C-alpha cells in the first residue's frame, strides 16, 4: 500500500527508494498473489464506503483513509486504482508470484499464530479476519520457501516477509521464539531491512534515511486513535443536534488541517468539547478562506474570458462588415460594366453623317450617359438595392462567424 502511494507522497518516495536500494544489494522483490488480493479487498472497502457520508465516517483513521479523504477520492477513483495494482507493481520491478502450497514438514503451529494476530476484541465465533489469514499464509509461505533451513543472517535467508506493521512483526517474532526455533525469524520490519541494505550499500541511496525519517515524522504528527475517535464522536453529536451539516462534518474530517490541529492540542492537558469546537471552527474558517479565494479566481477568470470574447466578437464583426461591403459592390460590378460598355459602343452609331467636329459629340454623350448611369446606381433606387444586399450579406456573415467563435 505504501509503495503504491496509498499512504501519501512522503511514504511512497521513501518506500520506492528503499526498493531501489534492495535491488542494489542483489535482492529480488516479489509479492504473493494473495497479497494483491488483500490489497484489492482493502480498496474495495474504501470503494464501498467513500460513496456515502455514513461510510466515510465509519472508516478507521489510517494513513490510507487520510490519503483518500484529503485527496477527495471517489468510489470510481478507488476502482480505477484497484484495477491498476498489478500493472503498477510490475512497473516497479516487483514480481507477482502464486503462494506456494503448504508443506507440513516446514510450517509451524499456525493456530497459535492466528490467535496472536487476532484482535482481542474480535468475537471468538467469527471466522478468521482476512488480514490475519493473509499474514499467517505469508509466514507459512516463507517457511515453505526456506524448506526447513535455519538461516542466521539475511544473506542466507533465501526468503523473508517484509512488512510495515510493527505489531505483526512483534507477534510473529514472539511466536517464533516461543516455538524454540533457532535462526532468523520469517518476518522483518521494512525499516530494519532497509537499514541492513543501507549498511551494505550506503552510496546507493544517500537520501534514503532522510526520506524515511520524513515519512516517520509525518506519521508521528497524526493524532492518536483515542483522540481521533473522540473527535469523530464530537462531530457526530454536533451533526445530530443540527449545529453542523453532514457535508460540513465530512469536509472537516477530510481536511488535512484537522490532523495538524488535533495533534497540536493533543499534548495539552485534557481535550474538552470547547477545544474540539475550536478545532472545527478553525478548519471551517480555512475552508471559507479557500472557497473565497476560489470564487475570486473564478470571477477573475470569467471576466478575462468575457473581455477576450468581446474583443473576438468585435474583430469578427469588422471582418463580416468588410466582406459584406465589398461583396455587395462586386455584385453590382456587371451592371456598371454593362452601362459603360453599352454607352461607348452604341451611342456613336446613333449619330451617323456628321462632320469631323460632330464626331466628338457621340463620344462626349457616351461619357455623360455612362457617368450618369453609374451615379444613378449609387445614388438612385439602385443604391437602395445595393444597401439591402450589403445589409443581408452582413447579417449572414456575422451569424456564421460569431457562431464559429461561440463553438471555439
* CA dist list (Å): 401 to 191, 292, 325, 391: 65, 37, 16, 15
- Maximum CA extent, the chain: 145
**pLDDT interval class at 34 (50, 70, 90):** very high
User: How far is Cα of residue 64 from the mean position of the Cα atoms in its chain?
Assistant: 16
* pLDDT over 80 at 344, yes or no: no
Q: Sorting pLDDT into bands at 50, 70 and 90, what band is 189?
A: very high
Which residues touch 227 (CB under 8 Å, ≥6 apart)? 262, 266, 271
**The whole model's pTM is what?**
0.60
Q: What is the distance between the alpha carbons of residues 320 and 395, in angstroms, rounded to a whole number?
A: 8
Angle at 398 between CA 394 and CA 402, to 5 degrees: 175
Domain residue spans in the chain?
9-220, 225-294, 316-407
pLDDT digits (tens, 9 = 90+) for 66-110: 888 878 888 999 999 999 999 999 999 999 999 998 888 888 888
Q: Of 151-155, 269-273, 283-287, 375-379, where does the model show the most confidence?
A: 151-155
Provide CB contacts within 8 A for 72, sequence distance 6+. Answer: 254
103-145 residue pLDDT tens: 888 888 888 888 898 877 655 545 678 889 999 999 999 999 9
- pLDDT > 70 fraction of the chain, expressed in percent and rounded: 72
* Helix H or strand E encompassing 120: none
What's the pLDDT at 361?
A: 53
Q: Which helix (H) or strand (E) holds 71?
A: none
* Residues 280-288, mean pLDDT to the nearest whole number: 74
Residue pointed to by grid coordinates 474583430: 315
DSSP tag of 203? G
Which run of H or E residues covers position 32? Answer: strand 30-32
Closest CA to 3 of 27, 33, 39: 39
SS3 state of residue 28:
coil
Distance from CA of residue 109 to its chain's centroid? Answer: 46
Amino acid at each position: 500500500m505504501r509503495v503504491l502511494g496509498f499512504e501519501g507522497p512522503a511514504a511512497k518516495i521513501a518506500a520506492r527508494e528503499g526498493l531501489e536500494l534492495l535491488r542494489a544489494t542483489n535482492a529480488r522483490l516479489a509479492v504473493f498473489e494473495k497479497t494483491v488480493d488483500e490489497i484489492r479487498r482493502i480498496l474495495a472497502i474504501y470503494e464501498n464506503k467513500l460513496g456515502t457520508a455514513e461510510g466515510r465516517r465509519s472508516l478507521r483513521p489510517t494513513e490510507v483513509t487520510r490519503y483518500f479523504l484529503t485527496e477527495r477520492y471517489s468510489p470510481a477513483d478507488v476502482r480505477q486504482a484497484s484495477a491498476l495494482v498489478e500493472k503498477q507493481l510490475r512497473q516497479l520491478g516487483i514480481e507477482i508470484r502464486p503462494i506456494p502450497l503448504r508443506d507440513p514438514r516446514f510450517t509451524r503451529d499456525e493456530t497459535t499464530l492466528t490467535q496472536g494476530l487476532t484482535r482481542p476484541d474480535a468475537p471468538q465465533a467469527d471466522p478468521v479476519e482476512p488480514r490475519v489469514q493473509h499474514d499467517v499464509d505469508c509466514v507459512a509461505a516463507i517457511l515453505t520457501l526456506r524448506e526447513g533451513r535455519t538461516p542466521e543472517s539475511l544473506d542466507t535467508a533465501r526468503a523473508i516477509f517484509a512488512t510495515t506493521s510493527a505489531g505483526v512483526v512483534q507477534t510473529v517474532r514472539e511466536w517464533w521464539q516461543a516455538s524454540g526455533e533457532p535462526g532468523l525469524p520469517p518476518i522483518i520490519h521494512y525499516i530494519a531491512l532497509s537499514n541492513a541494505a543501507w549498511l551494505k550499500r550506503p552510496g546507493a541511496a544517500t537520501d534514503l534515511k532522510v526520506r524515511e525519517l520524513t515519512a516517520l515524522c509525518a506519521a508521528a504528527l497524526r493524532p492518536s486513535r483515542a483522540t481521533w475517535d473522540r473527535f469523530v464522536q464530537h462531530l457526530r453529536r454536533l451533526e445530530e443536534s443540527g449545529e453542523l451539516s453532514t457535508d460540513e462534518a465530512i469536509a472537516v474530517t477530510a481536511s488535512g488541517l484537522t490532523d495538524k490541529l488535533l495533534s497540536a492540542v493533543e499534548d495539552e492537558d485534557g481535550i474538552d468539547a470547547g477545544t474540539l469546537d475550536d478545532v472545527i471552527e478553525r478548519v471551517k474558517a480555512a475552508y471559507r478562506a479557500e472557497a473565497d479565494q476560489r470564487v475570486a479566481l473564478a470571477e477573475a477568470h470569467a471576466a478575462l474570458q468575457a473581455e477576450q470574447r468581446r474583443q473576438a466578437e468585435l474583430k469578427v464583426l469588422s471582418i463580416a462588415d468588410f466582406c459584406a461591403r465589398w461583396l455587395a459592390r462586386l455584385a453590382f460590378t456587371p451592371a456598371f460594366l454593362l452601362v459603360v460598355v453599352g454607352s461607348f459602343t452604341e451611342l456613336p452609331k446613333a449619330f451617323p453623317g456628321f462632320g469631323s467636329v460632330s464626331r466628338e459629340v457621340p463620344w462626349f454623350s457616351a461619357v455623360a450617359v455612362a457617368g450618369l448611369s453609374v451615379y444613378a446606381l449609387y445614388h438612385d433606387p439602385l443604391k437602395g438595392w445595393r444597401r439591402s444586399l450589403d445589409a443581408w450579406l452582413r447579417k449572414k456573415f456575422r451569424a456564421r462567424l460569431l457562431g464559429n467563435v461561440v463553438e471555439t
